[in-house]
Chain A
């Protein structure tokens, strides 16, 4: 079945450091790819999405590019802030699976120190 693999955390960075969180996927067909973020005590917020190969999703300084040749969707940010501390989830939605079902990675905890 479809699956998503994320780099394990926690990832600890100093403020203004560069962030990369790796995400790779296994799926048949042409899935859509997502990054969601979860702050303590809250639900998931959509951070960005990409629906086809070579699409770049971007939001709030975060970017990710859909790479079909490497089946990857790595999350990057040029300069992190303390307020970016949260759990980040990579996910896919595969129309061949029927419907909007999301398959999630395990999540990566990000801690940013001031």
Chain B
């Protein structure tokens, strides 16, 4: 069974631009979560989607948003990029919604100049 896939793998943007990252979960998985990984803050939870609804959200500004489609694929969007948004963005999928093991994709590395 194929794992979690994320596209693109690398991105370079400039301040003020916006970016959309994509995640395809493991087949049959209905929950998708997003995390931001930086050297300074470590791994931080952004949000989780299940059945096309956002079920939980971390402490990030409204510039960070996401959505989930009927096939469970998910996208996250960051508007008005700041230098501090440079990070590895990780997507994880799980079978269901309550205390299920999460499986991670390879991540999208975003560099904001």
Interface residues of A (CB under 8 A from B): 32, 34, 36, 42-46, 49, 51, 89, 91, 93-95, 97-107
Interface positions, chain B 51-78, Cβ under 8 Å from A, are: 55-56, 58
Residues of A within 8 A of B99 (CB): 32, 51, 93-95, 100
Chain B residues closer than 8 Å to A104, beta-carbon distance: 42-43
Contact present for A43 and B104 (CB under 8 Å): yes
Asked if A95 and B90 sit within 8 Å, CB to CB, the answer is no
Question: Would you call B33 an interface residue if the criterion is a C-beta within 8 Å of the partner chain's C-beta atoms?
Answer: yes
The answer, yes or no, to whether B1 is at the interface (CB within 8 Å) is no
Q: Are B101 and A46 in contact (CB under 8 A)?
A: yes
- B5 to nearest A CB, angstroms? 11
Name B residues whose Cβ lies closer than 8 Å to a Cβ of A: 4, 6, 31, 33, 35, 42-43, 45, 48, 50, 55-56, 58, 90, 92, 94, 97-107
Smallest CB-CB separation from B41: which chain A residue? Answer: A106
Beta-carbon nearest neighbor of B45 in chain A: A101
Min CB gap A111→B, angstroms: 17
Q: Beyond A42-B106, A43-B106, A99-B56, is A49–B42 a contact (Cβ under 8 Å)?
A: no
Minimal Cβ-Cβ distance residue in A for B35: A102
A101/B33 in contact, CB under 8 A: yes
Select the residue from A95, A97, A98, A107 with max chain B CB neighbours within 10 A: A98
Which residue of the partner chain, among A43, A89, A93, A98, contacts B105 with CB atoms under 8 Å?
A: A43
Given contacts A100-B102, A102-B33, 20 further A-B contacts (CB under 8 A): A42-B106, A43-B6, A43-B90, A44-B104, A46-B104, A89-B43, A91-B43, A93-B102, A94-B99, A95-B99, A99-B33, A99-B55, A99-B98, A100-B48, A101-B58, A102-B35, A103-B45, A105-B42, A107-B42, A107-B43
